[in-house]
Amino acid sequence: QVQLVESGGGLVQAGGSLRLSCAASGRSFSSYAMGWFRQAPGKEREFVAAINRSGGSTYYTDSVKGRFTISRDNAKNTVYLQMNSLKPEDTAVYYCAAAVWGSGSRLMKMDGIDYWGKGTLVTVSS
């Protein structure tokens, strides 16, 4: 069983930045494609960003391209989401997800997810 623990959420003003982290348990982190998703109040969970197992390919939803960057450190079993130029519409609970031997392209479709974290709240004030 893999546990994913997110951290780094909080309250920030519009235009500000936050860096989310997701630490994974276990010894096989390099075999997981990793993704970030978010769910705003009253809305369905949506894809935000994904990264393949080696970190060589990344994927983003259009609304965050140029503002968010996903990265991973396989030595630390951690995936990050650097969020810049935050907007009030980015307010949501952000979830980390892992797909064992998966791919970033499948994570974009919320397909093949094996594990979810419990989420961290990001609130962007106007």
Residue-wise pLDDT for 36-56, tens only, equals 999 999 999 999 999 999 999
Residue-wise pLDDT for 56-96, tens only, equals 999 999 999 999 999 999 999 999 999 999 999 999 999 99
Tokens 């962007």 label which residue? 124
Local confidence band at 27 (pLDDT 50, 70, 90 cut-offs): confident
Local confidence band at 11 (pLDDT 50, 70, 90 cut-offs): very high
Radius of gyration of the chain (CA): 13
* Average per-residue pLDDT for the chain: 96
**Rounded Cα–Cα distance for residues 81 and 70 (Å):** 5
**Rounded Cα–Cα distance for residues 2 and 23 (Å):** 10
Q: Looking at the predicted structure, is the pLDDT value of residue 1 above 90?
A: no
User: 39: exposed, middle or buried (C-beta count within 10 Å: 0-12, 13-18, 19+)?
Assistant: middle
pLDDT at 26: 82
Strands 92-100 vs 120-125: parallel, antiparallel or unpaired: antiparallel
